Amino acid sequence: MLINVPETVVADALRGMAAAHPELTVDVENRVVVRKDAPVAGKVALVSGGGSGHEPLHGGFVGPGMLSAACPGEVFTSPVPDQMVRAAAAVDSGAGVLFVVKNYTGDVLNFDMAAELAEDEGIQVAKVLVNDDVAVTDSLYTAGRRGTGATLFVEKIAGAAAEEGRPLERVEAVARRVNENSRSFGVALSACTTPAKGSPTFDLPAGELELGIGIHGEPGRERRPMMTSGEIAEVAVDAILADLAPRDPVLVLVNGMGATPLLELYGFNAEVQRVLGERGVPVARVLVGNYVTSLDMAGASVTLCRIDEELLRLWDAPVRTPGLRWGM
């Protein structure tokens, strides 16, 4: 691995992020990434976070049009409540703070505790839980569905709503609507390797793949012999559509898990678009790339979000972050 020692991986990455992005304030010691112009007067602030290893999620999504701050934990480990409270205090303008929380047990518990502590300090807090993964209902990491690719949709669309100056309850309502209309399914062609362990998180023999994986390297719901890109697209899209009956056009995220090159992701997207067309699902927008990753895992996930005119306008609104930017 291109690291010094496992113990300093996150701190080293944050130092490098600070050097590359002067538009952010990166507190390496306290593990908080904040947009430099925060707090923005009259604006609801969005704060999210989670274990490191999913980059650019979440720190790479801090900036105008998206998150106000992010809290990176250790690799695949939830950040602690003190980080979240520190982030909320740094970005709160008095209009309130929305916590965007992926449905993993550690994240949920720590953000709940942070919300209580922040409110004790006079900060108004609302929380939205992202639980879009249709592959697994319960796992070692969560009760209920896992939060995966829809996190990007929630942070982008709710972030645009906050930029418009909407009050906290309306920003929260938009975030909940995006989550309720989003579903994801992922597949791994290889396991990932954490810096501390130095070996794959699960055993996946050559010539096999894992269907329904999560973003922490946890295995999925079924193992099969290697399939073609088109066959994988059919399994992923059909699993989503079995749970999400699109009444409107959809946003599509074809997301790489960290080690899959764009050549393959674009080819996979072509198959996803074919399957959606065959199933009669209209597509409004498509995003392809590595956005919600799992270290060096080879594989991909598909996320669909039913979208109306309002949500589409918020999706198209300008955004300027290290990991996502357009319109500015």
Active-site residue among 54, 58, 145, 146? 54
SS3 call for 59: helix
Identify the sign of the CA torsion 307, 155, 319, 271: negative
Active-site residue among 216, 257, 268, 298? 216
Q: Tell me phi and psi for residue 252, to 5 degrees.
A: -125, 125
Instruction: Answer yes or no: are the C-beta atoms of 187 and 209 closer than 8 Å.
Output: yes
DSSP class of 151: H
To the query of whether residue 58 is one of the catalytic residues in this protein, the response is: no
The count of C-alpha atoms lying within 13 angstroms of the C-alpha of 39, restricted to the half-sphere facing its C-beta, is: 20
- Going by C-alpha positions, the residue among 91, 50, 98, 100 that lies closest to residue 71 is 50
The vertex-70 CA angle with 327 and 159, nearest 5°, equals 35
Instruction: Answer yes or no: are the C-beta atoms of 322 and 56 closer than 8 Å.
Output: yes
Identify the sign of the CA torsion 312, 317, 321, 325: positive
Amino acid found at 125:
V
Instruction: Answer yes or no: are the C-beta atoms of 315 and 178 closer than 8 Å.
Output: no
Task: Quote the CA–CA distance of 297 and 244 in Å, as a whole number.
Answer: 27
Instruction: Answer yes or no: are the C-beta atoms of 214 and 133 closer than 8 Å.
Output: yes
Q: Provide the strand spans (E) within the chain.
A: 24-27, 32-35, 45-52, 69-75, 97-102, 125-130, 182-188, 208-211, 222-225, 250-256, 283-289, 299-306, 319-320, 325-326
To the query of whether residue 21 is one of the catalytic residues in this protein, the response is: no
Q: Which amino acids are annotated catalytic? A: 54, 216
